[in-house]
Amino acid sequence: MNPFKNELLAQHWKEYALSFLILALLGALPAIMFGANLLDYLYPYGLLYALYWAVVAGGFTFLTVHQRKKAFAEPLAILGDATKKVAGGDFSVYLKPIFSLDQSNYIDRLFADFNTMVAELGSLETMKTDFITNVSHEIKTPLAKIQGYARLLQEQSITESDRINDATSLMRASSNLSSLVTNMLQLSKLENQGILSSREPFNVCEQLTDTLSTYIDLWEQKGIQYAIDLDDYAMIEADPALVDIIWRNLLSNATKFTPAGQSITIQQTSTETAIQVIIRDTGQGMNAETLKHLFEKFYQGDSSHSSEGNGLGMALVYRSIELLGGTIEIESSEGKGTACTVTLNALIT
């Protein structure tokens, strides 16, 4: 027999013996209190007396064990089996309520919480699987390019011009791979960061000007017109590194998706409680489906530019703004361009 069942059976016998003893004593107590002699009380009816209370104790023990089994043991056994399945990786487990809606108790609430937990774990498992699949795919692409260009450079018959072009392409592919790894590490850090690690007052207009200076030459080379309207001074208290992530990724996207002859506009305004920065371009824009998935990791709506990014930029922007307590609004139409409005609070005047 199962050792657990043996232990449970022994416990039931102990409960039965204790119930018999207590009930028998309580049954005799009134007679003794009114002057009856205990020996007279037990003899000649002691055997019948004991048999009577043995039956009553048996019924009482059976009733209590049955109620306890129904109320505790069976639900906990169901919960235990379900927990083992979840521990084994089965996230399709669902526990049905034991009682009807109007009679639900804490066991049903426990089951409901368990179902919620399993659903969340299943969602996390799916996200982890998707993340690993996406990372594997994103890493394989630049690695394949690096290996291909490296093989070409080993060819003896390659011309000097081709060698230079292949070396340039190899450097670009390795740079993309480095950027992917950096962004993944950065996003992982931000996703596991509950609060800002550092806050300091700084001039956000000065920071934005410094960031823009790295793009102006690129815009002029690409033939993109630009207009910049910033205040000289606007202080906020935040993590400068997080704010810099926002500007660099939004400006990078605007540059990537705006063709020659089109324009990019950066406008910053301040109120008593916040600053607002609008980065607007007249590039190719996005459709509704792309907007819906814009902040998802590794999502790239326009595959024609997939070699220029890794689909993590907007996920970094969203998490950074979330940690800063700000907001971002995206307006876009295909063929008409995109406008990103970032609002950051905690303005210091």
Instruction: Please tell me the predicted confidence (pLDDT) of residue 278.
Output: 95
pLDDT of 306 strictly over 50: no
pLDDT value of position 307 = 47
Cα–chain center distance at 318: 14
Q: Are 86 and 119 in contact (CB under 8 A)?
A: no
At residue 339, the pLDDT reads 94
Peptide bond into 44 cis (omega under 30): yes
Q: Report pLDDT digits (tens) over 100-129.
A: 655 567 777 888 888 888 887 777 676 666
- The one-letter amino acid code at 306 reads S
Res. 161: pLDDT tops 60: yes
Is 60 exceeded by the pLDDT of residue 303? Answer: no
pLDDT of 131 higher than 70: no
pLDDT of residue 35: 61
The better pLDDT of the pair 150, 100 is held by 150
The DSSP call for residue 44 is: T
Residue 68 has pLDDT above 60, yes or no: yes
Say what angle helices 74-87 and 106-154 make with each other, to 10 degrees.
Answer: 0
Highest mean pLDDT among 65-69, 113-117, 299-303: 113-117
23-29 long-range Cβ contacts below 8 angstroms, 24+ apart: 23/53, 23/56, 23/57, 23/60, 24/49, 24/50, 24/53, 24/57, 27/53
Instruction: Please say if the pLDDT value at position 296 is more than 90.
Output: no
Using pLDDT thresholds of 50, 70 and 90, give the confidence band for residue 301. Answer: low
Of 122-136, 149-163, 267-281, the range with the highest mean pLDDT is 267-281
17-53 per-position pLDDT tens digit: 887 787 777 776 766 666 656 555 555 666 677 777 7
Write b or e for each residue in 12-26: b if 16 or more Cβ atoms lie within 10 A of its Cβ, otherwise e: eeebbeebbeebbee
What is residue 129's predicted lDDT score, i.e. its pLDDT? 67
pLDDT in tens, 239-252: 888 898 899 889 98
Q: What is the pLDDT of residues 219-242, one digit of tens each?
A: 999 999 999 999 988 888 888 888
Q: Is the pLDDT of residue 5 over 80?
A: no
Averaged pLDDT score across all residues of the chain: 79
Whether the predicted pLDDT of 266 surpasses 70: yes
Query: In one letter, which amino acid is 227?
Result: A
CA distance 340 to 46: 93
Q: What are 20's two structure tokens?
A: 């018999």
Q: Which of 74-88, 203-217, 247-261, 269-283 has the lowest mean pLDDT?
A: 74-88
* For residue 173, pLDDT beyond 50: yes
Look at residue 325 and tell me whether its pLDDT is greater than 50: yes
Over residues 171-182, the mean pLDDT reads 74
Query: What are the two backbone dihedrals, phi and then psi, of residue 271, each rounded to the nearest 5 degrees?
Result: -125, -175
